A = this chain, B = another copy of it.
Amino acid sequence: MVPARKTPTIQDVARHASVSAATVSRVLSSPERVTETTRERVYAAVRDTGYTINQAARSLRLKAARTILMAAPNIGNPFYSTIVDAVIREAAERGYSVLVASRIGDDPNRWLSDYMLSNRADGLLLFDGSLDTNRLHGLRDDGVALPLVAAYDEIPDAKIHSVITDNRLAAKRAIRHLVDLGHTEIGHIIGPSRNQSTNERFIGFAEAMQEAGLVVREEWLFPGTYNMESGTAAAEHLLASGKLPTAVFSGNDEMALGLIHRLRLDGIDCPRDISVIGFDDIAVARFFDPPLTTMRQPREDIGRMATSSLIDIIEGVVPEDEPIHVILTSDLVVRESTRAI
């Protein structure tokens, strides 16, 4: 219980074990290159001194921080909870730490370059498709491309590694589900337009509508912001438009929840009077009243795969000229917020 006077260094361990610092370093990184006996002595010394490696020194020497940066436009959205968890988990398994950043300040690109170029992080996990592609390419270090994986929200650039979901297809399936139930008057709450995934969902919606021979009515489209309040706003927009659609495809679950809640205030019941399908399958979806029909996003898989891909790239196991493009599939989860007309 003697408090350490000072954080022990590799030198202290070396002295303690009567070996050189080099040997200690070797024991720690490649134990097989050291005799059994000295190895044991070093391990003992490590225990005795309570030595832990100094990451700053190690990073400086190795030019690698064994840290990745997860950047999202709004990490405060509960949607990211599962993802953050998966990212941390996967990173930890491979010996990496995770720094998190949210969009802060004016220049959306500056903080990223700061992190990357200052040796704080070895790679970037980007959940924001709205960033300037060129500047991203510009983030270079040592003349080699910055390890970067676009996750969830795609970046329309084939050269950038990405782990995304089949947004367009999923949207089409959502609409087909409604069509199969007999709906012909279908509205759509659109997500924030700066997200590429939003656009993909919108395109899927439009395509499916056309394929079903249905018309997209302008007044049944509403630009939301992915939070519940904008679902409420969408409801008010629809209410004001005079005639309600019989079904609504919401760009995400939260807006769907806001929509259902607000409509009910005016006596419009889901699913009795209107069907609503969401997107994501957030945790509350199945506990809501009515339990929400939605397109389930494999959030955990996104986090895990994006992280492991990024680390693969950092560690050079992925050839630079063969971009990774993982497209995960979303599942239709039918619950009670949609019903036949």
Contacts and interface: CB of A to CB of B under 8 A. Distances in A.
Interface of A: 3-7, 52-57, 59-60, 65, 67, 74-78, 80-82, 84-86, 88-89, 92, 97-102, 104-105, 111, 113-115, 117-120, 140-143, 227-228, 231-232, 254, 257-258, 261, 264, 282-284, 287-289
A52 B88 contact: no
B89 A3 contact: no
A143 B3 contact: yes
Contact of A120 (B7, B97, B141, B284): B97
A260 to B, nearest CB: 8
Contacts of A141: 7
B287 A257 contact: yes
Given A56-B59, A81-B80, A284 B228 contact: yes
A227 B284 CA distance: 10
B52 A56 contact: no
A6 B142 CA distance: 4
A282 B264 CA distance: 21
A84 B75 contact: yes
B7 A228 contact: no
A55 B98 CA distance: 16
A84 B59 contact: no
Contacts of A232: 287
Contacts of A86: 76
A102 B118 contact: no
B81 A287 contact: no
Contact of A56 (B97, B119, B264, B284): B119
Contact of A88 (B82, B104, B287): B104
B97 A98 contact: no
Nearest to A287: B261
Contacts of A140: 3-4
A137 to B, nearest CB: 9
A282 to B, nearest CB: 8
A208 B226 CA distance: 40
A5 B143 contact: yes
A115 B96 CA distance: 11
Nearest to A137: B3
Given A56-B120, A85-B102, A88-B100, 20 more contacts: A4-B143, A5-B142, A5-B143, A7-B117, A55-B118, A55-B120, A56-B56, A56-B57, A74-B85, A76-B82, A77-B81, A88-B104, A89-B104, A92-B101, A92-B111, A98-B99, A98-B100, A228-B283, A257-B284, A257-B287
B100 A52 contact: no
A68 to B, nearest CB: 11
Given A74-B85, A85-B75, A100-B98, A52 B287 contact: no
Contacts of A54: 60, 118-119
Contacts of A59: 56, 59
A6 B141 CA distance: 6
B76 A142 contact: no
A308 to B, nearest CB: 15
Contact of A97 (B99, B254, B289): B99
